[in-house]
A and B are shown apart, each in its own frame.
Chain A
């Protein structure tokens, strides 16, 4: 794709008999947040590692800023920053020492990184913790420190593997604010996440399943691809709702949510009365029932169902 800074073509990785990543192709533009979404074992981490040049792909090609990552991983690493899923910084070093270590490894001129680190620490309210050991930081602060370290050399591509797992909601919001400001600076970001509400914040999403890309589009585009409609039922006993409706004609699937259930149907106008009737026949009290816009989670489940039915 023209202007793309990250380009993966036919990327594959096999672990024994399992195809962890199977023929993945995508391109990421500068200033774009590209999300990798999928259940555990879909191949998100393996894809990230291949993009970062820390794992060799069996097949396919990756270029970062025009550099072939497979042929010249060390050259590509200068432009890429990778934040692994597991906290990768030194817990027995202070915040400042960690930042300095990565600045030195990337040979960032002293004045430059000091300025940049100070600004980022201020922006993420970390300045008072400069002298604290990284191991004594909270989960959210650890991730913000990880981000600061990976940005100290002003990478053009940022790879974030489930960066907000185990991070409190407030820190997650701060974290995303930093990502948005990076987008403004033209940094391309590939982010994998298990939180589907986070996926909605991405510019484009790739849905992965068993190492293959099921769909790739903007969140809105993906929603448009979803066949049928979504009916939300608010009820005290979501499981009973599911049992009562999942065998009805026109119901493709039921997803339990906190307040009740999301029912995926072929035609909302036609099925809504049928479902309401079935629920009252089963003696299930509902506080609310109506058509809603599908969330990414609905979408993901629905698209995977489609995939499974087609197969």
Chain B
């Protein structure tokens, strides 16, 4: 492998609750390769310079969603962000708007709880065994390419949480359920196979959900997978209102 002589200063936010009262910043100067991603630089430091640096990563192909961090203040998927986009020095911090567990690792249990609240699974009125007339002989529901296209985009979320780090609403209102969770709830509402939209719309009319969004559109700007959560959140607003209005006029079946 051809060696390049390029060097770079990498500043990493460090926090070890066993030792540090508050987070501190540590600087490393390392040789870098032209085709490295930001993650490669962190891994180099971990392997060759300072094994105590802690971070999460796995697939290094922008699909597992582990390695979201703040790079020069912007939320980035570090395995997808080229080091050559930055000149001379770079500053890496854990994702904003999340409590810091250690170094570049944040506490994402809050997100996991929010995620579950939107019931991110197919809800059917009947159990599968009683639902057979809706299934083909192969056991699948019918869904046209157009019906698939309705929700496909919102199913592309990799839960990397960059949108939470970018959202100014979360910064002020930590209990806001957040862009990714709403996008995934809305994804099921749009799925032709799902019958759970009534329930989810009720959740969406609750405190700290879609109407907390003030349309900063930040989530869509930073999303590495072009999910456009801002679109989902604002469609969900409309759907939740329409559903509420319908409930006033039409009698609810079943409830």
B is a partner of A: no
B positions within 8 Å CB-CB of A: none
Question: Hey, which bits of chain A sit against chain B, CB under 8 A?
Answer: none
